[in-house]
Amino acid sequence: MVTNEEVTNPQIEDKKIENPTSHGQNSEVEASLPQTDTEITAEEASNSNAINSNNETTTEDTVVLQTESDGSQPSSPGFEDAENSGEKIPVSQTDAQTPENLTPKSPANEDAAETPDENQTEPEKTKRTRRRKKDPEDSENRSGTKSDNAEKANPDGVEGDGKPKLRISLPKKANVMSIDDELGVVTDADKAKNELLDLLESYRGKKHLSGKIQGIENSTGDPSKALAVLAYGEYKVIIPLHEAVEPPDDLKGQPLDYALNFMLNKRLGAEIDYIVKGIDTKAKIAVGSRVEAMQNKRKSYYFGTDRDGNYILHSDVCAEVRVVSVVRSGIFVDLFGLEVFIPLSELSYQRMMDAESYFAPGQRTLVKILEVDRSNRKNIRVKASVKQAGENPYEKALRKYVIGNRYVGTVSLVDVNGVFVSLDGGIDCLCNYPKRGRPPKGARVTIRILGINYNTNRMWGAITHVASAR
């Protein structure tokens, strides 16, 4: 044990003595002053030797606070609690204290200083294990860093799959007394809920919804700002021009926006597929894309295969299509995401001069796929026919008529070749102009059959009587 006299004696100031610890180990301790948890300068250590000559040796619980000019001050009662809780305690240094004057710590000296002497009157305290707690500032910085990284990853509140977060509240269910356990009548609230769920499913799961183009809106007058308007229950669905119509292969010298605007106007009333891209529940408005829905459908049907590895769509397959646009020379149909033009010659076995008289956008019809070209995935070519999807009526109709007999029909067409009379069964008989003058279209006439060609399915005759038009 080191006595007070040995500490104050300058002759042994530079010597080292062995101090037995409570664990039975010898540790080298500098005779100047045992070190505590806080570092003490050499100048303050020499001053403390004189002061501590009548006091007990400094223990583990003694804390020396340094100030700028007033020297050491007694520690506050809450210092040890703050130190154990991990909070930072500011320790100020005097002008004479420099890093060079600081006494270096060693593990041996630290153990020796922290080990109380056996002859000390103070009770021995158990050594607490000091845990390093997280600094509140560090935790705030880390949380701030995480939030910054989250903002960088999702600057606009967008999820990982590229979809903005939607906070939508479903309409409340109506309180209706039902006869059975479940209500058998669909209420307005249920309809609104189902409509909203369908829109959300299309928005999140790329589900295809269908509807008819009911109008075109353009408040600015700019052709590129035109919007196709559809209705899905209580919601108004708008589709921008470039998301409603795909650009044609030949613009015929017209600007792209004007060509797309013309095509969109020709598709008024057409039934189309679309995918929802955004929803505004307060305004009851949804934004859709027809082009994306068509691309997804083409990928599934034209490049999808069955169990045997064959393409789903191939030649000689009959399919149901939607008529999306009608012009004089033919019709445009939506064949599983691909718009196909069918000319007049493939619309009917009967003679047609104007397709607009027989077809309109929004209708559905059957077609037979004649040819499919998949060499270019981005530009698939398909040829289809409406008349070949059904049975040829001429083969059956020709068996009903006999050469030399008279039959009643309706004038269907008058051109330079003669007068075409439509008979029962969908067959036309070509007749010469009568001597009394050509009858108008729609007139009821009587003809006499002069000949039938079963190979070419053609019939010709002569008009014997003309009645009034229908």
Domain ranges of the chain: 4-114, 188-295, 309-389, 397-469
- Taking phi over 0 as left and psi of -120 to 50 as alpha, with beta for the rest, 330 belongs to left
Q: Please tell me the CATH code under which domain 188-295 is placed.
A: 2.40.50.140
For residue 143, the surrounding DSSP H or E stretch is helix 136-153
Pairing, β 318-327 against β 443-453: unpaired
Q: Could you tell me the end-to-end alpha-carbon distance of the chain, in angstroms, rounded to an integer?
A: 135
Tell me which residue has tokens 């593990």: 107
Q: How far apart are the C-alpha atoms of 383 and 363, rounded to whole Å?
A: 19
Pairing, β 235-240 against β 72-74: unpaired
Q: What share of the chain is helix, strand, coil (3-state, %, to 5)?
A: 25, 30, 45
Bridge partner list, 330: 327, 343
Q: How far apart are the C-alpha atoms of 266 and 74, rounded to whole Å?
A: 93
pLDDT tens digits, the chain, 470 residues: what are they? 444 444 444 444 444 444 444 444 444 434 444 444 444 444 454 454 444 444 444 444 443 434 444 444 444 444 444 444 444 444 444 444 444 444 444 444 444 444 444 444 444 555 565 655 555 555 545 545 554 554 444 444 444 455 556 666 666 666 777 787 777 777 888 888 999 999 999 999 999 999 999 999 998 888 899 999 999 999 999 999 999 999 998 888 899 999 999 999 999 999 999 999 999 999 999 999 999 999 999 999 999 999 999 999 999 999 999 999 999 999 999 999 999 999 999 998 877 889 999 999 999 999 999 999 999 988 999 999 999 998 887 777 788 888 999 999 999 888 888 899 988 877 889 998 887 778 888 899 999 999 988 888 888 999 998 886 55
Tell me which residue has tokens 């040995």: 6
Q: How far apart are the C-alpha atoms of 196 and 202, rounded to whole Å?
A: 10
Q: How far apart are the C-alpha atoms of 284 and 459, rounded to whole Å?
A: 60
Q: Please tell me the CATH code under which domain 397-469 is placed.
A: 2.40.50.140
Asked if 335 contacts 367 with a C-beta cutoff of 8 angstroms, the reply is yes
Same fold, 188-295 and 397-469: yes
- Cα-Cα-Cα-Cα dihedral sign, residues 457, 461, 465, 470: positive
Q: Which residues make Cβ contacts (< 8 Å) with residue 40, sequence separation at least 6?
A: 33, 48, 64, 103
Q: Domain 309-389 belongs to what topology?
A: OB fold (Dihydrolipoamide Acetyltransferase, E2P) (2.40.50)
| Amino acid at residue number 398 | L
For residue 64, the surrounding DSSP H or E stretch is strand 64-66
Tell me the DSSP string of 285-324.
EEEEEHHHHHHHHHHHHHS-B-TTS-BSS-TT-EEEEEEE
Asked if 113 contacts 35 with a C-beta cutoff of 8 angstroms, the reply is yes
